[in-house]
Amino acid sequence: MALRLPKAMLPQLFKDGYKNLQGVEEAVIRNITAVKQMSEMTRTSLGPNGRNKMVINHLERLFVTNDAATIIRELEVEHPAARLLVMSSQQQEQEIGDGTNLVVIFAGELLQKAEYLLRMGLHPSEVVQGYELAAAKAQTILEELVVDQVASIHDAAELTKAVRTAIAAKQYGHEDLLTGLVTEAVGHIMPKNPAQFSVDAVRVVKVMGGSLYDSRVLRGMVFARSPESVVKKVTKAKVAIFTCSLDISQTETKGTVLIQNAKEMLDFSKGEETVIETQVRELADAGVKVVVTGSAVGDLVLHFLNRYGILVLRVPSKFDLRRLCRVTGATALARLGAPTPEEMGFCDVVEAVEIGGDRVTVFRQETEATKTVTIVVRGATQNHLDDIERAIDDGVNVIKAITKDTRLLAGAGAVEMELSKRLLSYGEKTPGLNQHAIKKFAEALEVIPRTLADNAGLDSSETIAKLYSAHYRTDAGTAGVDVEGTSDIGVIDAVEKQIFDVLAVKQWGLRYASSAALTILKVDQIIMSKPAGGPKPPKNNANWDED
């Protein structure tokens, strides 16, 4: 017999201020309600017709996006059960880079179905057991539902099959243009062994102005700033990269210098000039034509660098400095001085070019395949550019997933409907109480096509009925939601329309969603301590402490 503390004893165990919730009604149902609210919030952002959310974070930065990963990251979720779901979706973002909304929506739907079973009298452990069986069976069935695969990672037309659907879910109407940009960019940098492909090698630079159709791919690295120096272009250049500031070094302590006459004053300033000139001359003598710094460039140093014809660029981001080190083969130095031959990098062309009135600096390797490529995105507003960047990021991450597993599934909600159909059949054959949970797991899968239909303005109940009819008529399992309204029968063949989902995205999405739902269902007691700290001062009132 398990040891169970009666509620009356708990106040004697803990300090004042502890909150204790236990049992199905207080703990499990409350957790389910919190997760359900969160999944309903991101549900309207799923698919090509997903609506945007306007999120203003704690730093008062505005986000206008339908990307679930960004929405969830910027919201400060307090509820512990909802936080578990946030962590699952973030793990999906790190593992695959796409499918975060799938995790949130499906986990929310699983818990909603579980609530019905609990109210009907099933014990949480019976629901958990059934869900575990269904999740394991779903992974097996997914392997059988593969309809196509990417024949060659180095073929842009083959990559388009997988990338186009992922981008259309974020930027419906621009998917062909953005898919072309992503596949062209990846084509420049895809290594012979696709397993070595890094998503970090595709950068996005946002330049305000123009239209999205002015966007283009540039080989090499692009920085959205002009060089500090007079020299704007060099070729076959040795590159020195510094993390320190290029300026007169300051002493750690304040020093006082007593100057008696004008000659001493001139000698003092001349001594500094001589030191700086010597350092710059050493750089020039070593053959350095380009200097990149992560910090400030002093006027005196800039004067001498211009005199010796050296191009100077300031890159404030330490991450961009690291990428540039990888592109040029240089080592970032923490002291000003001539680098050794091993520490210097090399770049074929470093030039300042103009894009839509803004000058940008390009580092380009001509002779060998460049290790980095940049997509220059144009657009009217910063929020629009940010959203385009997220769509491109999803496309690149899908390619990374394909390098691990090239298999594809039917998209447009077709794979979820076929999975639901087969799991319902599996549930019918399973004896005992587990069959109820397996059937509810199967029903929960309907949420994806139902949401796609809702967001497209269709009658979701009618659409689900048509999908079931199409799936039971044939074993192909490729009938999906017709969001464009082009089909007479209300459903489309996803394979014919070239709408594919990547197998790895679905596998990990279902795995993380079911894992999060099971973890929440296994909680039977919530014990919360009193928050530390006193009352917080009211916001937006500068004189809150005055009487």
Q: Is there a domain that residue 301 lies in? A: yes
Q: Are residues 428 and 313 in the same domain?
A: no
10-residue mean pLDDT series, the chain (547 residues) = 48 62 69 83 83 82 82 81 85 83 88 85 84 88 84 80 84 84 84 79 82 82 79 82 72 62 69 74 81 79 80 82 80 78 81 77 69 83 85 86 84 85 85 84 88 84 85 80 74 82 87 88 71 62 57
Number of domains in the chain: 2
Across-strand partners of 22? 525
Residues 406, 440: Cα–Cα separation, whole Å: 31
Q: Are residues 354 and 277 in the same domain?
A: yes
Q: Are residues 23 and 136 in the same domain?
A: yes
Q: Are residues 350 and 277 in the same domain?
A: yes
Whole-number Cα distances in Å, 88 to 376, 438, 504, 515: 32, 22, 16, 8
Tokens encoding 84: 């578990």
Q: Is there a domain that residue 376 lies in? A: no
Residues 87, 76: Cα–Cα separation, whole Å: 12
Residues 249, 268: Cα–Cα separation, whole Å: 14
Whole-number Cα distances in Å, 287 to 233, 292, 344, 463, 476: 16, 15, 10, 69, 65
- List all residues 6 or more positions away from 361 whose beta carbon is below 8 Å from its beta carbon: 222, 223, 225, 226, 227, 313, 350, 351, 352, 353
Q: Are residues 15 and 138 in the same domain?
A: yes
CATH number of the domain where residue 457 is located: 1.10.560.10
Closest by Cα among 149, 147, 325 to 221: 325
- Tell me: the pLDDT tens digits for 149-172? 878 777 778 888 888 888 888 888
Q: Are residues 44 and 138 in the same domain?
A: yes
Q: Are residues 357 and 419 in the same domain?
A: no
Tokens encoding 57: 């974070």
Of 365, 395, 424, the one marking the end of a domain is 365
Q: Are residues 422 and 342 in the same domain?
A: no
Q: Which amino acid is at 470?
A: A
Tokens encoding 298: 């002093």
pLDDT given for residue 252 in this prediction: 47
Across-strand partners of 235? 349
Q: Are residues 16 and 120 in the same domain?
A: yes
Q: Are strands 373-379 and 216-219 parallel, antiparallel or unpaired?
A: antiparallel
Residues 416, 410: Cα–Cα separation, whole Å: 9
pLDDT given for residue 388 in this prediction: 87
The DSSP secondary structure of 360-406, one letter per residue, reads EEEEE--SS--S-EEEEEEESSHHHHHHHHHHHHHHHHHHHHHHH--
Burial of 320 (0-12, 13-18, 19+ CB in 10 A): middle
pLDDT given for residue 2 in this prediction: 45
pLDDT given for residue 544 in this prediction: 54
Q: How far is CA 524 from the centre of its chain?
A: 33
CATH number of the domain where residue 272 is located: 3.50.7.10
Q: Is there a domain that residue 81 lies in? A: yes
Q: Is there a domain that residue 279 lies in? A: yes
Find where tokens 């986000």 sit: 63
Q: What 3-state DSSP class applies to 251?
A: coil
Across-strand partners of 528? 19
pLDDT given for residue 531 in this prediction: 66
Q: Is there a domain that residue 174 lies in? A: no
Q: Is there a domain that residue 227 lies in? A: yes
Of 298, 331, 365, the one marking the end of a domain is 365
Parent domain of 304: 222-365
Contact (Cβ atoms closer than 8 angstroms) between residue 125 and residue 532? no
- List all residues 6 or more positions away from 488 whose beta carbon is below 8 Å from its beta carbon: none
Query: To which H or E segment does residue 166 belong?
Result: helix 156-168
With residues binned 3-state (H G I as helix, E B as strand, rest as coil), the percentages for the chain, rounded to 5, are 50, 15, 35
Q: Are residues 420 and 358 in the same domain?
A: no
Query: To which H or E segment does residue 359 belong?
Result: strand 358-364
Q: Are residues 16 and 97 in the same domain?
A: yes
Q: Is there a domain that residue 349 lies in? A: yes
Q: Which amino acid is at 517?
A: A
Closest by Cα among 286, 360, 297, 298 to 330: 286
Whole-number Cα distances in Å, 405 to 221, 394, 402, 499, 511: 29, 16, 5, 18, 16
| Alpha-carbon radius of gyration of the chain | 30
Contact (Cβ atoms closer than 8 angstroms) between residue 347 and residue 365? yes
Q: Is there a domain that residue 177 lies in? A: no
Q: Are residues 336 and 454 in the same domain?
A: no
Residue 26 DSSP label? I
